[in-house]
């Protein structure tokens, strides 16, 4: 796996909407906040294009803009501005060889799950499940979210993951696990099963997060993971934030209860309450890096090798 070069003050970063668009006013705010952090900014041409109210241009056009950012030698990191919808339209147009030749920092989450899977599985790149420019950095870039992001993208070889103060890492199923970290948003992962861009979890650590989903939908998706063999294939599972996913009708029957039932007869070790996803603070984790954890110590460790 290719771990990208560090990001230094004064470097140039690209900002892009690979899924849904933003307004011209919001784009100006996004550029300004990244400049305030000390970077030169190049924005993609599709960010404010709006098709159907939820698409930042066609899938082919968004792939073309992403290719331009990977090819541009001045750009050292690509930050997704937001997630949204329609990232799956881009996949068939992505050029794995072009991207593989130009590895660099890539940050995002939610609908960006498709891109993480593509970049790690088809391009051999480490990518970062971390804060996005409009969704997080402009309005609420708290110190813990910021520190976690820059620790991850500038990591040296080995480091331990840290939850924010006051958030304990918890155990759903005991054990030790090691493997490459993969995963992302549950609904987006489910939409990829059966396609050429299906997430590969065999002998890996599977990370899952979700937002604004009912228990019935979460039930369907977790049992889809079970029935497709993904839960059994994984060496370990890490559960992130399940934001606004409460069971209003029966509060005591929630995500953890469904997860326990989906794991019936499967002894995969599981940690939960990892603070990354659609909540705040939001910690950054490196997909494609070697991950290990021990439920007894509740420590998560990442091993990386920089190019």
Q: Is 25 a catalytic residue?
A: no
Are 109 and 79 contacting, i.e. CB atoms less than 8 angstroms apart? Answer: no
Options 65, 144, 209, 210, the catalytic residue: 209
Is 44 designated active site? no
Rounded Cα distance, 215 and 92, in Å: 32
CA–CA distance from 252 to each of 172, 249, 256, 262 (Å)? 16, 9, 10, 17
**Strands, E assignment, the chain:** 12-16, 40-43, 75-80, 105-108, 127-129, 158-160, 170-173, 176-185, 205-211, 236-243, 270-272, 285-287, 290-294, 299-303
Which tokens in the block code for residue 85?
């919808």
C-alpha distances (whole Å) from 57 to each of 21, 54, 62, 115, 230 are: 8, 9, 6, 17, 33
286, 303 Cβ separation under 8 angstroms: no
Rounded Cα gap, residues 163 and 54, in angstroms? 33
Catalytic residue among 20, 110, 135, 148: 110
Q: Look at residue 70 and give its three-state secondary structure.
A: helix
209 a catalytic residue: yes
**Which listed residue (144, 148, 278, 290) is catalytic?**
278
Are the CB atoms for 225 and 219 separated by under 8 Å?
A: no
Active-site annotation, residues: 110, 209, 278
């Amino acid at each position: 796996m290719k771990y990208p070069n560090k990001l230094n003050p004064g470097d140039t970063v690209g900002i892009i909407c690979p899924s849904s668009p933003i307004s011209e006013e919001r784009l100006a705010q996004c550029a300004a906040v990244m400049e305030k952090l000390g970077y030169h900014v190049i924005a993609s041409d599709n960010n404010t294009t709006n098709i159907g109210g939820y698409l930042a241009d066609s899938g082919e056009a968004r792939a073309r803009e992403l290719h331009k950012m990977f090819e541009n030698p001045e750009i050292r990191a690509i930050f997704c501005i937001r997630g949204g919808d329609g990232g799956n339209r881009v996949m068939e147009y992505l050029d794995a060889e072009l991207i593989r030749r130009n590895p660099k920092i890539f940050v995002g989450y939610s609908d960006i799950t498709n891109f993480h899977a593509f970049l790690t599985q088809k391009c051999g790149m480490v990518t970062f499940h971390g804060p996005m420019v409009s969704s997080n950095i402009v309005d609420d870039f708290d110190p813990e979210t910021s520190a976690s992001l820059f620790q991850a993208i500038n990591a040296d070889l080995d480091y331990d993951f840290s939850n924010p103060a006051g958030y304990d890492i918890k155990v759903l199923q005991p054990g030790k696990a090691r493997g490459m970290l993969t995963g992302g948003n549950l609904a987006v992962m489910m939409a990829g099963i059966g396609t050429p861009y299906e997430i590969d979890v065999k002998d890996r650590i599977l990370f899952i997060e979700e937002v604004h989903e009912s228990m019935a939908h979460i039930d369907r998706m977790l049992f889809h993971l079970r029935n497709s063999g993904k839960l059994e294939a994984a060496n370990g599972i890490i559960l992130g934030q399940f934001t606004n996913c409460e069971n209003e009708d029966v509060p005591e029957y929630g995500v953890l209860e469904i997860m326990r039932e989906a794991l019936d007869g499967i002894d995969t070790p599981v940690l939960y309450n990892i603070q990354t996803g659609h909540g705040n603070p939001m910690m950054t984790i490196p997909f494609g890096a070697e991950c290990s954890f021990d439920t007894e110590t509740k420590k998560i460790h990442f091993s990386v090798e920089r190019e």
